[in-house]
Structure 1
Amino acid sequence: MSTHEQVTEHKSFSEPDETREFSNGKAEILKIGHCEVGRFTFKPGWRWSNDIRPLAQTPSCQAPHFQYHVAGKLAILMDDGTEIIAGPGDITSLPKGHDAWVVGDETVVVVDWFGASNYARKV
């Protein structure tokens, strides 16, 4: 079987392949279809520049993301000054170079198809 042959797979975030915990949240990673998909959970008060920057050791998030927003509201500030607020049902495509934070008192949950591999991994 070649390494790119398609195989039927079924996994659940109830049993992630890896969990990365960090201040005010966690990243749960599934390895499936020769890819990694992440479910990120951010508690109220979470902010990338406060809670992830010490792990990433970069001035802003350098992981690009392609995300489906499941719950809560997430503010995103791009390095170029563009700011958006994403909520449940939204999809965001973010290039590297941004900060983000939870808006309000509801936990944020996003599913990320691009950028989960190295997110919140200690340098």
Structure 2
Amino acid sequence: MENKKNKVLMCCLGPETHNRGMILVSTILKEEGMEVIYMGNTTAENALKAATEEDVQVVGVSSLSGAHLRTGKQLIDLAKKQGCDKSIAFVIGGVIPPNDVHTLKEMGFYDVCVSGAVREKVAAIIKEAAQSVH
């Protein structure tokens, strides 16, 4: 039996206006054979709606604005409220201070990719996250 292709939704939440990192990560994931749905800037509500409708395994959030704790909490809290926190893994990356990594994982993020993460590490994290919900 062939494994289901990993499907990832990529987005920015809240006041985010930078998309270069998200475009780069989306390209890396496509090159690794994953199906990527690129949403760009959106709300937590719209990201979860699309993730559910598209049956993704992972939601990847890009955060370069410094709002990762606030927007990350909004996303994870809503996912828990909607009951999709067990069927979708959440990964956040971007300009995230090392001191915030533990807090984000405690919130419910599967993993955190800090600035400077190499392509192999990012792809491996997304693949592991996808497998965690199969």
Q: TM exceeds 0.5?
A: no
The bucket for the TM-score relative to the shorter chain is: 0.3 to 0.5
Greater Rg by CA: 1
- The structure that is helix-richer by fraction is 2
- The structure that is strand-richer by fraction is 1
